[in-house]
Homo-oligomer: A and B are copies of this chain.
Amino acid sequence: MLTQTESQQRIVRLQEKLRHQGAHAALLILPIDVYYFAGTRQNAVLWIPADGLPMLLVRKSLSRAREECPIADIRPFPSSKEFASVFSEEYASVGMTFDAVPIQQHSYYTRALPGRSFVDISMIVRDIRSVKSTFELELLRESASKLASVFAGVPQFLKAGMRELDVSAEMEYRLRKAGHEGYVRMRAFNQELFFGLAVSSGGVNGGFFDGPVTGKGLSSASPHGASYDCIQVNQPVLLDFAGVFHGYIADMTRMFVIGTLDPELQHAFDVALNIQEMVRQAMKPGVIGEELFLAAALLAEKAGLGSCFMGMPGEQAKFVGHGVGLELDELPVLAKGFTAPLQLNQVIAVEPKFVIPGKGVIGIENTFVVSDEGGLRLSDLPDEIVFLEA
């Protein structure tokens, strides 16, 4: 439950940035943004003036929003005719998150608030959300710990001959029983994810997903994650799952092999560990995300694995890590074009991976907190490949 103090601290940070950008208020309508500032993910809209008190307007459920939200001013959603009268006309410049708000919603609010100009505050909101509080870090550690426990149990069920789908179903079942909330939120427009990836040969496949591995999936309608392919001996099995508990996402990948591993894949895994360690040591405030990606790509290149780093040759992702929190694709991104310096207490999933055609997919992923001593791991599950008897 979000406390009043924490809600106020978050709102104050937004207000400072609104004033800095010259916006008079924010109208937040994406549910997870509303949740971040107001502690409730009901169908509601959050109004935050740059100077003044916030107001939550609730479509459904008003009773539940009142139970959960520490903001004092909670009201039923006004009719479109009444809408403008709720807000003083002095708020002429209104911020919205243009990255996530559909055109129809934008049109609705421009009609409901005539004479105002609307400005994009996506990056402000995403930047604020990227820096985690002590409370959030505790929730993220809990998520990582629960996720790690399920990973630790994989040797109990993983067998040759299972379909990738069966492996995924076993992971999902155990995660759910541990309190996993299921739905994995992503912000990017054309991305979607179900739980994670359990892939072996099916992982050597192109895909829409903005990650190193997409998976074959079950059909062209859901071309992502586990497939009907069966797990073979001496083939790497990559499990990449998002743990979602109390809304907070930890992201983790581990490798499993029934039998023995091709030396080229073992080499690639060792390079992935080296890249992860290099990035971890460098994850300090002030460091540029893009530089970490370029350094990682250089290590891969020097190891002779440049063409299969972070994806199929020709479909390589141009990043090596991504922020996580209430969404899987938060800021910062360790990627080309991301030149903002890292900030203390940002949380980043680092996932150096290789897709080697004809051989398999392999890599590692852990979630780290940016600190003055470099990245702090959210969980202490060993990184090593788990070998099982054939």
Contacts and interface: CB of A to CB of B under 8 A. Distances in A.
A319 interface: no
A181 interface: yes
A107 interface: yes
Contacts of A30: 190
A8 interface: no
A345 interface: no
27 contacts: A1-B220, A29-B189, A30-B190, A35-B221, A39-B220, A40-B220, A41-B208, A41-B223, A42-B207, A43-B190, A43-B210, A60-B207, A60-B210, A61-B214, A61-B315, A62-B206, A64-B223, A68-B220, A96-B103, A165-B176, A169-B176, A179-B218, A181-B194, A181-B221, A182-B195, A219-B246, A222-B247
A96 B107 CA distance: 14
A182 B194 contact: yes
Interface string A210-252: 1000100111111101001000000000000000111110000
B120 A42 contact: no
Interface in A128-182: 165-166, 168-169, 172-173, 176-177, 179, 181-182
Contact of A222 (B107, B218, B244, B314): B244
Q: A interface, by DSSP: helix, strand, loop or mixed?
A: loop
How many residues of A sit at the interface, in one of the four size bands? Answer: 35 or more
B61 A207 contact: yes
A103 B102 contact: yes
B104 A102 contact: no
Contacts of A276: none
A205 B102 contact: no
A165 B98 CA distance: 36
A84 to B, nearest CB: 21
A183 B1 contact: no
A61 B222 CA distance: 14
Interface string A92-132: 00001011111111110000000000001010000000000
Given A98-B104, A103-B102, A31 B172 contact: no
A228 to B, nearest CB: 8
B181 A176 contact: no
A193 interface: yes
Contacts of A194: 181-183
Nearest to A118: B103
A326 interface: yes
A192 interface: yes
A281 to B, nearest CB: 31
Contacts of A41: 208, 220-223
Contact of A181 (B98, B218, B315): B218
A222 B40 CA distance: 9
Contacts of A42: 207-208, 223
Contacts of A2: 220
